Chains A and B, each alone.
Chain A
Amino acid sequence: MLELRKVSKRFGGVVATDRVTLDVAQGEVHALIGPNGAGKTTLIAQISGSLGVDSGEVRFLGEDITRAKQHERVKAGLARSYQITSIFKRFSVLDNLALAVQARSGSSFSFWRPVAAEAALFDEAGSIANEVGLDRRVDAMAGSLAHGEQRALEVGLALATRPKLLLLDEPMAGMGPEESARMIALIGRVRAKVTVLLVEHDMDAVFRLAERITVMVNGRVIATGGPEQIRADAEVRRAYLGDEVVA
């Protein structure tokens, strides 16, 4: 579904992603792990199109999207969430989601008709709120939500674009065990409909959710494989997993 071929990005002297080759297959949950600074977030930005590639190729659903703009990629079915919560804080939860629904349903170069009259947008926004467990918070200002709720909205915004491939950048960042469990359950529900590329530090979540795992260190992919294979990989253990998994 998603194919990266030798994708690179250099910031001055720092190589953030170094000839990354990666395949995400239709229907899988594919985890991308690695120590801080490994280039995972840079790679997510390059896949979603907010950051260009210096060299290499990005293909999605068989099409070359290396030079496609971010909004074109969203149209094609590629949506992302952010590691640092990025929502419309002064909009209500429902308005947040309705905006994302609006982006893919009809033209928004519409200047006359009041958007508030478009019941279909808000109906669908409501059902997404339901899906991510925010159905009782639809009228709350997004900025006033608890951290875990904001993270759920973060994922909801990406889901509202109706993606085929969902890029989740550390959805459990800063979450307690209870909130994490809720997020794991949410991803578990979503995976039935959507392919997921999951960047995450929570190894418990990764090994529970992922069918395949890719490990990045210093901008490079050092291993790809099933959870057992990754757990057993000597180089991965030395570079990243270390005692955490062994213990």
Chain B
Amino acid sequence: MRQASVLAVLACLFPLAMQAMDQQFYISFATRVLIYAMAAASLNLVLGYGGMVSFGHAAFFGAGAYIVGILAMEGVTSAWLAWPAAIVVAALAALIIGAMSLRTRGVYFIMITLAFAQMMYYIFVSLKAYGGDDGLSLPGRSTGFGIDLRGDLVWYYLVLALLAGVLYLLHRLVHSRFGRVIEAIRENETRAAAIGYPVYRYKLLCFVISGAIAGLAGALVANQSVYVSPSLLHWIQSGTLMIMVILGGVGRFWGGPLGAVVLLTLEETLSGSQMLGAYSLYWQLPVGVILLAVVLFAPQGIAGLFSRRRGARA
């Protein structure tokens, strides 16, 4: 709880500090980090807590973004309509994809979630009415909340509030009865079934909750860049979310958010780095080395380095 308060205070002060230093760009960058923190946290719920290695999480993220984009094109700009719609559609997509994928295990599950996500990717590529390959520029940010969301500062704080809400919800969830069952299934699915849990139902519901949160993150990312494109659903996007979770800590409460902060900060600093000069094009190389180091030396991720002992959960 203390960690959370410290982080909350830091997150609240950050944009004010940036404004004081006249570095407005970083407010927008930080908002993007917060949105990816939400997406990564949603993936960590299925991957880390549920042990379901979904390699198609971008499908729900992208679906949420496209719903906001498409509705905006059709004149529906109210956040009160568009964002819940994004959540519901992403949850439905997760229900359908999950219902089929969760009948498989291991590598087959990874491959089938990947395949479904790529199918969704090609569906949006072929939607010529909504930009197809080129993506879709939104007329503007969603409206609602009685405030103008165009200002970077207002937008930052709204996203921060939503992320805080989602993280609180997830915190309750993973410590509830449901959360315990999900972790038990990750640990030993056969035994969980043998003591009387309908395992498939729990996994599917977990998958749907995770998809719904990814959909909200998608709705936010569409507003963040006022633009959506099929690349949001591409498997590379799924991989990026997965890297965030692994960096931050698989099955660690702060794993998703930490991973998002670290990966996006590395990308931002390395890709524009003076030190690397012309080689800054290859910023992914040092990121790869860091990822390897984390996997080899800190399998609990960055969040694992903070907790005093193994098994302790923040």
The chain A residues found within 8 Å of chain B, CB to CB, are: 48, 50, 69-71, 74-75, 79-80, 82, 86-91, 95, 99-100, 102-104, 106-116, 118, 141, 157-158, 160-161
- Given A88-B184, A91-B184, the answer on whether A71 and B193 have CB atoms closer than 8 Å is yes
Contact B187 A89 (CB under 8 A): yes
B37 to chain A, nearest CB (A): 21
B172-218 with Cβ < 8 A to chain A = 172-173, 175-181, 183-184, 187-188, 190-199, 202, 205
B146 at the interface (CB under 8 A from A): no
Contact A71 B197 (CB under 8 A): yes
Contact residues in B for A157 (Cβ distance below 8 Å): 191, 194-195
Q: How far is the CA of A196 from the CA of B90 in the complex (A)?
A: 48
Contact A110 B178 (CB under 8 A): yes
**9 pairs of A and B residues whose beta carbons are closest in the complex:** A74-B196, A103-B196, A100-B195, A110-B177, A108-B177, A71-B198, A88-B187, A86-B191, A114-B175
Contact residues in B for A89 (Cβ distance below 8 Å): 187-188
Closest to B194 in A: A80
Contact B196 A87 (CB under 8 A): no
Contact residues in A for B205 (Cβ distance below 8 Å): 109
B75 at the interface (CB under 8 A from A): no
Contact A108 B197 (CB under 8 A): yes
The chain B residues found within 8 Å of chain A, CB to CB, are: 172-173, 175-181, 183-184, 187-188, 190-199, 202, 205, 311
Q: How far is the CA of A108 from the CA of B195 in the complex (A)?
A: 13
Closest to B188 in A: A88
Q: How far is the CA of A146 from the CA of B198 in the complex (A)?
A: 30
Contact residues in A for B175 (Cβ distance below 8 Å): 114-116
A59 to chain B, nearest CB (A): 20
- Given A50-B190, A71-B196, the answer on whether A111 and B184 have CB atoms closer than 8 Å is no
Q: How far is the CA of A112 from the CA of B176 in the complex (A)?
A: 6
Contact residues in B for A88 (Cβ distance below 8 Å): 184, 187-188, 191
Contact B176 A115 (CB under 8 A): yes
Q: How far is the CA of A91 from the CA of B194 in the complex (A)?
A: 17
Of B180, B197, B311, the residue contacting A90 (CB under 8 A) is B311
Contact A111 B311 (CB under 8 A): no
Contact B181 A79 (CB under 8 A): no
Could you list some 19 contacts between A and B, CB below 8 A? A70-B193, A80-B194, A82-B194, A86-B191, A87-B191, A89-B187, A91-B184, A91-B187, A95-B180, A99-B192, A102-B180, A103-B195, A104-B196, A108-B180, A108-B197, A112-B173, A114-B175, A115-B176, A158-B195
Contact A111 B187 (CB under 8 A): no
Contact residues in A for B195 (Cβ distance below 8 Å): 74, 79, 99-100, 103, 157-158, 160-161
Closest to A105 in B: B177
Counting chain B CB atoms within 10 Å of each CB, the highest count among A48, A79, A111 belongs to A111
Closest to A69 in B: B198
Q: How far is the CA of A105 from the CA of B199 in the complex (A)?
A: 16
Contact A109 B187 (CB under 8 A): no
Contact B187 A86 (CB under 8 A): no
A81 to chain B, nearest CB (A): 8
Contact residues in B for A118 (Cβ distance below 8 Å): 177
A131 to chain B, nearest CB (A): 16
Contact residues in A for B191 (Cβ distance below 8 Å): 82, 86-88, 157
Contact B194 A86 (CB under 8 A): yes
B140 to chain A, nearest CB (A): 35
B304 to chain A, nearest CB (A): 14
Q: How far is the CA of A102 from the CA of B178 in the complex (A)?
A: 10
Q: How far is the CA of A91 from the CA of B188 in the complex (A)?
A: 11
Q: How far is the CA of A140 from the CA of B133 in the complex (A)?
A: 56
Contact B194 A111 (CB under 8 A): no
Contact residues in B for A116 (Cβ distance below 8 Å): 175
Contact residues in A for B194 (Cβ distance below 8 Å): 48, 50, 70, 74, 79-80, 82, 86, 157-158
A42 to chain B, nearest CB (A): 15
Of B172, B180, B181, B188, the residue contacting A86 (CB under 8 A) is B188
Closest to A118 in B: B177
- Given A157-B195, A161-B196, the answer on whether A108 and B188 have CB atoms closer than 8 Å is no
List 10 extra interface pairs beyond A79-B194, A106-B177, CB under 8 A.
A71-B197, A80-B194, A86-B188, A89-B187, A95-B180, A99-B180, A102-B177, A112-B172, A112-B176, A115-B179
Q: How far is the CA of A74 from the CA of B193 in the complex (A)?
A: 9
Contact residues in B for A161 (Cβ distance below 8 Å): 195-196
Q: How far is the CA of A87 from the CA of B192 in the complex (A)?
A: 9
A47 to chain B, nearest CB (A): 12
B251 to chain A, nearest CB (A): 10
Q: How far is the CA of A17 from the CA of B195 in the complex (A)?
A: 24
Contact residues in B for A75 (Cβ distance below 8 Å): 196
B293 to chain A, nearest CB (A): 24
Q: How far is the CA of A106 from the CA of B181 in the complex (A)?
A: 13
Contact residues in A for B199 (Cβ distance below 8 Å): 71
Q: How far is the CA of A114 from the CA of B171 in the complex (A)?
A: 10
Q: How far is the CA of A159 from the CA of B195 in the complex (A)?
A: 9
Q: How far is the CA of A158 from the CA of B195 in the complex (A)?
A: 7
B128 to chain A, nearest CB (A): 41
- Given A86-B188, A86-B190, A89-B187, the answer on whether A113 and B176 have CB atoms closer than 8 Å is yes
